[in-house]
Amino acid sequence: MRLTKNVKQVIILLAFVFPAILFYFVFVLAPTFGGVWYSLTNWNGLNPTYNLVGFSNYIEALTDDPYFLDSIWFTLKYVIFMVVLANFIAILLAVLIETQKRGKVWFRTIFFMPNMISLIIGGFMWMFIFTKVLPYIAENTIFHFLDQSWIGDTRFSFYTILILSLWSGVGYLMVIYIAALQGVPQQMKEAAAIDGANGIQTFLNVTLPMIYPALTIGLFVTLNNSFKVFEAVYALTGGGPGRATQVIALNIYEEAFMMSSRYGYASAKAMILFMIVFIVTLIQLWIMKRREVEA
């Protein structure tokens, strides 16, 4: 009797979960594990037969593919800038907006708006700014320094990509931080003010510790998304000039679908990206756990 009840429960559970599992298996799990398998082969997409080649794809990607290695370093640089700047600006905006009374809703609405627009559309708009508007301003006003090759010059194109990404991404983080700030009790800030703390001291000693959970989320989101950056680069520079601004995701995309159709080799690069994201997540979870224990 008991056994049949258990069996019945399992059947009901599976009935509820089955549709989700089906789609998840076909479109996520199978491609992921398939990717692991193909990364060990010399499959090239065109040829129906392929052979196992062990880890040689991985070795080639990490030792004999300067463009891929460059894309890793470029992505890493982008990640560091994004994590620091996006969160800093978002917290600054959130704190300042929370001090406002009437303008609050307006500021929040406008700063978040770019996040609603696809990075492809936003990227083309910024392209217009960088290739047409800024040169025009440089020519017709005193701001001559604006006349640069913002897209074509590698010294600047990193920053144009960064500006586009910040424009698009900061609003999202700001919303998270505003939600967290609204959870900080007003009395605590007032108590600190009565004790003679100024605005910055109150922020550092009272508010900031209260929004640590939100900060963890913000860092987590920016870290994960920045490693996967694709559209901002695709829309603005396409990875160029040459391959100077190529990021990991774009390198994988081009390897698989544009250049050589070396699917097996591109799969190995895809697994390296997976590994990087995985390790970063583990480190982050470990740090969070430690902080929780301390707190």
Partner 1 sequence: MSNQGMNTGLIGRRAGSALIFLFLSIGTVLTLFPIYMGLLNSVKTQSEMLTSILSFPTDFQFANYSSAFIKINFMKSLWNTIQIAAVGLVGIIVFGSLAGYKLSRTKGKLSALLFGLFIFSTLIPFHSLMITLVKVTQELHIQGSIYGLGLIYIGLGVSLAIFLYHGFVKSIPNDLDEAAVIDGCGEFKLFYSVIVPLLHPVTATIAILNLLWIWNDFLLPLLILTDSDQYTLLLSTNMLFGEYSNDWSNILASLVLAMLPIITFYLFLQKYILNGIADGAVKG
Applying the rule CB under 8 A, the residues between 204 and 223 that interact with partner 1 are 214, 217, 221
Cα 289 to Cα 283: distance, rounded to the nearest angstrom: 10
Q: Which of residues 50-89 bind partner 1 (CB under 8 A)?
A: none
21 lines the binding site for partner 1 (CB under 8 A): yes
Helix 212-227 crosses helix 263-294 at what angle (to 10 degrees)? 170
Binding of partner 1 at residue 3 (CB under 8 A)?
Answer: no
- Cβ neighbours of residue 143 closer than 8 Å, sequence gap 6 or more: 137
Binding segment (CB under 8 A) for partner 1, from list 61-69, 74-82, 224-232, 286-294? 224-232
Task: Count other C-beta atoms under 10 Å from residue 46's C-beta.
Answer: 8
- Measured from the CB atom, the residue of 113 and 191 that comes closer to partner 1 is 113
Residue 227 near residue 76, CB atoms below 8 Å: no
Size of residue set near partner 1 by CB under 8 A = 84
Q: Which sign does the torsion angle of CA 221, 223, 225, 231 carry?
A: positive
Nearby residues of 65 by Cβ (< 8 Å), 6 or more positions away: none
The answer to the question of residue 136 lying near partner 1 (CB under 8 A) is: yes
Q: Should residue 240 be labelled a site residue for partner 1 when binding is judged by CB under 8 A?
A: no
Residue 156 makes contact with partner 1 by CB under 8 A: no
With CB under 8 A as the contact rule, the residue among 42, 281, 284, 288 that binds partner 1 is 281
Nearest alpha-carbon partner for 215 in 183, 248, 168: 183
Q: Is 97 in the site for partner 1 (CB under 8 A)?
A: yes
Name the one range near partner 1 by CB under 8 A: 77-85, 104-112, 152-160, 203-211. 104-112
